[in-house]
Amino acid sequence: MTFPPRFAIARAAIEGNRARLTGPELHHLRNVTRLRPGAVLALLDEDGREYAGRLVELNDADALIAITAVKSAAPARRIILAGALIKAPRMDFLVEKAAELGASELLPLHCARSITQTSAERLARWRRLAVAAAKQSNAPLMEIRPALTVSEMVGKLAPHTLHIICAPDGAPLAHLLSVKPAADLLLAIGPEGDFTAEERAAMLAAGCLPASLGPHRLRSETAALAALSIAAAIGPELRDAVKSANK
């Protein structure tokens, strides 16, 4: 399947069924994708709403786009990655790839064994990476949440969500997802050295279920991406297809 090129746009730059693209995104449209008037494209705003459009005018200052359709910003199922903070280059990689794999939300976790902290600058960088990844992969825009401790996360667990801790002693994640349908999914990934016994106990007491990613010891970012890949594969559509095939 071929997708039209995607460009990030501020909601304020959209008026009715017209949008004006400026700045770096205009440069990308003109000099990288080399679109010309009449070309079909897509726009993605800061709230994750996607617009189908057609390039009407292209000049030095901006590009005028006619909006032809608007997609809902809300996915059918939210996949929240609650990932422990890890060193900057590896966390950047995790953010980019999690966004490409379709995570709806990244919740950075300050864990007892985390060896790094977050900042407003890092959060802003991760948001830029998430936008770039959404443009590239045609995935929904991944929301970047402010960092929380494990205890703060436990106090905010939402109902109608399947909460999972990725841990070697749990049932296989694919099996758990196939037998535990839920509207939304949260995947908790620990830092190097994993969650402490106290953090794990708090999550289990709050109803989180342990799930295994296989027999090997994985780095935090590898575990996160493996879990997201499995969750994307074992979605509601596949469960429904399997049920129909077994009837």
Each residue's pLDDT tens digit, 97-141:
999 999 999 999 999 999 888 889 999 999 999 999 998 888 888
Sequence-ordered list of residues with C-beta below 8 angstroms from that of 22, at least 6 positions apart, any chain:
13, 61, 62, 63
Cα distances from 217 to residues 22, 66, 69, 192, 193, in angstroms, run 46, 50, 46, 10, 10
The angle subtended at Cα 241 by Cα 168 and Cα 101, nearest 5°, is 50
**Whole-angstrom Cα distance, residue 230 to residue 200?**
22
Say whether both 47 and 111 belong to one domain: no
Selection from 43-52, 130-139, 145-154 with the highest mean pLDDT:
145-154
Note the pLDDT of residue 225.
96
Domain end, chosen from 48, 71, 94, is at 71
Q: Is the pLDDT of residue 238 over 70?
A: no
Domains: count for the chain:
2
Say whether both 66 and 14 belong to one domain: yes
Say whether both 145 and 65 belong to one domain: no
Classify residue 182: in a domain, yes or no. yes
Choice between 72 and 3, residue whose per-residue pLDDT is larger: 3
Q: Is the pLDDT of residue 236 over 60?
A: no
The residue segments making up the domain with residue 112 are: 79-242
pTM: 0.83
